[in-house]
A and B are shown apart, each in its own frame.
Chain A
Amino acid sequence: MTQTITIDPVTRLEGHGKITIQLDSQGQVEDAHFHVTQVRGFERFSQGRPYYEMPSLMARICGICPVSHLIASAKACEAIMSVRIPHTAAQLRRMLNLAQMVQSHALSFFYLASPDLLLGMESDPVARNIFGVVAAKPQLGRAGIALRRFGQHIIELLGKKRIHPGWVVPGGVTEPLEPAKRDEILAMIPEAYANIGLALAAYKQIADSFKPEIEVFANFPSNYLSLINEDESIEFTDGALRLIGPQGGVIEDGINAARYTEVIGEAVENYSFTKFAYYKPLGYPSGSYRVGPLARLNIVESMGTPLADQELVQFKQLAKGPVESSFHYHHARLIEVLHGIEKIEQILTDPLILDKHVRAIAGVNRLEGAGQAEAPRGTLNHHYKVDENGLITWANLVIATGQNNNAMNKGVLQAAKEYVNDGKFTPGALNRVEAVIRTFDPCLSCSTHAFGQMPLVLTLLSPDGEIVDQVIR
């Protein structure tokens, strides 16, 4: 018999998603899948467009992290142009990417995750949202909104638009930074420090009460991939990729964008439009890995900024090797926000930051190019081929959510086995299974392309495929 339960408010994910949980004949969880049900199509319809249009086109994939797409795309174009962008342009882009990371992480932590964390997994779903957080913890609510605004305002000041700024172009950026804007950003920094300090303190206070969730929220050994600088510090815009194994040992280092497709493959499963990235030498699924804040903090030796470095020391004490539970993505996210604020402040004091030379000009010098950057959710790779006129003949994007896909699916299965018993969702089970996905902060719009509402459907299937229970969020 089919039973449908409808629960509002709508889900707290970026995009459309569906979870199915398969039961065995004893009514116990046998398998679970996280489905992404939309098609993106950007690789296809960009064919025939001039390469220099690609950053603006590709940024339209997402309203949350368009900056990462702008940057990865521009870098792919610069590989085609064979240019190295001016120092000031690189620094300005780095600041833009950090500002986006801050606003996106603030959205993920305060708007999407904090209702679970601050109000409780079992709390009234009607109030389990940003309004509930504001009512229960107004100071934290204000801090979250202010941090998001901080990041978005920097994006607006630099790129003239909060979403889809056109400022990043192949070769650099279109305009230098004006002194008044630098001063305006610097003036916002103290409040941003206060707000992230508040959030970190609040998180540390409550984290211990989630030990049962930490145990089963995608808590298993895996590989991790992220950009890293030569000095072993965290990097979001340049650097090269490093892959580490479950014990923390380096599997491969110095993977630049040009070598990406040599080492990273994409598998396809019939239940999702999002592909499953893996490290080719280990094969699929053994070569699957995690990306994003947890991966970055597991990989780096330092944050490269003093306050975030202090926090990194504490974070690394959570485990002897890599920190495995995806629940800790939340903690990692907050540390990255702190780093972002510090780094933006550092960049603004660069003596060359107001330099007027911010763009390198060139035409097509190679017929293929790739670029990579760290999006808030993890590594992002854009890879293009062009004809001699610079028109795109082929494009491929490997998005963070696709790289976390295998871990998300395993995490859903792990949580479902814990929280779904005797063929029924236990109270709070739905929210906890969803919350596993939220820890990754997936962007389903990026990994495919979403349009319209953002429902999440959770379906429980009997051994013969009959729908036993279904919840639509």
Chain B
Amino acid sequence: MTQTTIRCLILACGNTLRGDDGVGPWLAEWAEEKYRGDPTVRVISRQQWTPDLAEDIAGAESVLFIDCSIESAPGYVSLISIEPSVQTQGLATHHQGAPELLALARDLYDSLPVKTALLSIGAGSTELGEQFSEPVLDAIPHACGLLESTIFEWTR
């Protein structure tokens, strides 16, 4: 059986029942549709990032993490590079951040993607509900564009 090389792994996180927190899964669904015919792009969407994802990360050439941010201004879209790091303060069993997952991939599988970044969208509201706030709705086209251009650059 031939294993396809994953040139880019899109790893989204969020809860679709918590307002803007669902923007990560929404973008993952959009990417899934967009790259449906491209076996080198893989999309994984989870409510939380858990340690088992380290193996998927270790096996990919590049990883684009997607999450909402409660620290950024509502609707603010950013793309920042991510380095592996073990953040022990407040470490949770059920959830790791992107730097911790990269560190796990490195420590467990001795492998790291060549390119890694976090695409985040500032949340306006994470109250119970399936609707996005206005700022996040307005930001989605820009986030999609940034996602697409990043994948294009990484996989060309």
Contacts and interface: CB of A to CB of B under 8 A. Distances in A.
Contacts of A12: 93
A145 B88 contact: no
Interface string A103-130: 0000100011000000000000011011
Contact of B104 (A10, A111, A131, A152): A131
Interface stretch (B20-28, B51-59, B129-137): B51-59
A141 interface: yes
Contacts of B107: 131, 134-135, 138, 141
Given A131-B103, A134-B108, A142-B108, A10 B54 contact: no
A357 interface: no
B114 interface: no
A203 B40 CA distance: 40
A44 B86 CA distance: 42
B47 interface: yes
A189 B120 CA distance: 38
A343 B88 CA distance: 38
A418 to B, nearest CB: 26
Contacts of A8: 88-91
A321 interface: no
Interface string A198-213: 0000000000000000
Contacts of B103: 131
A131 B100 contact: yes
Nearest to A8: B89
A163 interface: yes
Nearest to A110: B51
Interface string A85-114: 000000000000000000000010001100
B93 A163 contact: no
B55 A149 contact: yes
Contacts of A130: 51, 93
A148 interface: yes
B92 A149 contact: no
B88 A127 contact: yes
Nearest to A132: B88
B88 A9 contact: yes
Given A145-B54, A149-B55, A152-B52, A9 B90 contact: yes
Given A9-B88, A141-B108, A142-B108, A149 B93 contact: no
B52 A129 contact: no
A148 B88 contact: no
9 contacts: A9-B90, A129-B93, A130-B51, A131-B86, A135-B107, A141-B108, A142-B108, A145-B52, A152-B52
Given A8-B89, A111-B93, A135-B107, 18 more contacts: A8-B91, A9-B91, A9-B92, A10-B91, A10-B92, A111-B51, A129-B88, A130-B93, A131-B100, A131-B107, A134-B104, A138-B107, A145-B54, A145-B108, A148-B51, A152-B52, A162-B46, A454-B92
The 6 closest A-B pairs by CB, nearest first: A149-B52, A9-B91, A126-B88, A111-B93, A145-B52, A131-B86
